[in-house]
Amino acid sequence: MREVSRSSAGGEDNVKTPGDPLAVIEEYFPGEGTYVDEERGLVRASKVGRSLYDYANRVVRVTGRPFKYSVPRPGSVVLAYVGSVRPELAVLTIVGEYDKGGNLRRISWPLTGMLHISQASQEYLKNLFEAYAVGDLIKARVLSEENPYQVTTKGPGLGLVLATCSNCGGVLQPDQGGFLKCVECGSRERRKNISRDYIRLKNPRRL
Ligand SMILES: [Zn+2]
């Protein structure tokens, strides 16, 4: 059985990550390391590895060790930026993953997180704007297997860890009563899911 690694540029361009489209289902059967996305009619990668196309048997698979990369697993705690917020859904860019010792490891390529309002806070939220804003840095736990990852910010240590002032862009630092206070203009903002791990900067004015 001859397997060919199909890549225009070779090397790491051929590395697939979970969710990457590999073929249309009429063209290839799903092999190891793949799954069928019936809605779109695609075979997609379900793990990190190289894509291999078996032309004779019309099977595509993703094989190999994940090289130097790792991807979040269900239960992983990740660090993410809030890219957009709608009343019921925030879209995040996952930029790092915490190991068991709590050390942050950078992620080698941007992954997407989806935060639904039902997973945002233990406290009741009328809408997600009560908890998060674009540009916020948050700590979240991964709930699903594949990119885009479903995440939650309910739980100890999860939630908002760094935010900037909507008035002037200055750094917000924890203040009393669930408020954050801007180090530049003194404006206060109420946020409903501030993490106990909110980053308290030593010299925030120097940022
Ligand atoms: Zn301000």
CATH number of residue 150's parent domain: 2.40.50.140
Query: Which strands form 15-16's sheet, in the order they lie side by side?
Result: 15-16, 49-54, 59-63, 29-30
pLDDT category at 12 given cuts 50, 70, 90 is very low
Burial of residue 199 (number of CB atoms within 10 Å: 0-12, 13-18, 19+): middle
* Contact indicator for 120, 171 with CB cutoff of 8 Å: no
Are 185 and 113 in the same domain? yes
Residue 4 in domain? no
Q: What angle do CA 98, 103, 104 make, to 5 degrees?
A: 55
Distance between Cα 164 and ligand 1 center (Å) = 8
Task: Name the residue with tokens 């840095």.
Answer: 137
Distance between Cα 184 and ligand 1 center (Å) = 5
User: So what's the pLDDT on residue 34?
Assistant: 92
The pLDDT tens digits of the residues spanning 175-192 come to 988 899 999 999 999 999
Q: In this model, does residue 9 exceed pLDDT 50? A: no
User: So what's the pLDDT on residue 15?
Assistant: 79
Q: In this model, does residue 14 exceed pLDDT 80? A: no
Can you give the pTM of this predicted structure? 0.66
User: Of 6-20, 74-88, 89-103, where does mean pLDDT reach its minimum?
Assistant: 6-20
Residue 68 in domain? no
Q: How far does the chain reach from its first CA to its final CA, in angstroms?
A: 58
Are 170 and 193 in the same domain? yes
Distance between Cα 190 and ligand 1 center (Å) = 13
Query: In terms of residue numbers, what domain contains 154?
Result: 77-206
Distance between Cα 148 and ligand 1 center (Å) = 33
User: So what's the pLDDT on residue 189?
Assistant: 94
Q: In this model, does residue 69 exceed pLDDT 90? A: no
Residue 99 in domain? yes
What count of residues does the chain have?
207
Residue 71 in domain? no
Residue 179 in domain? yes
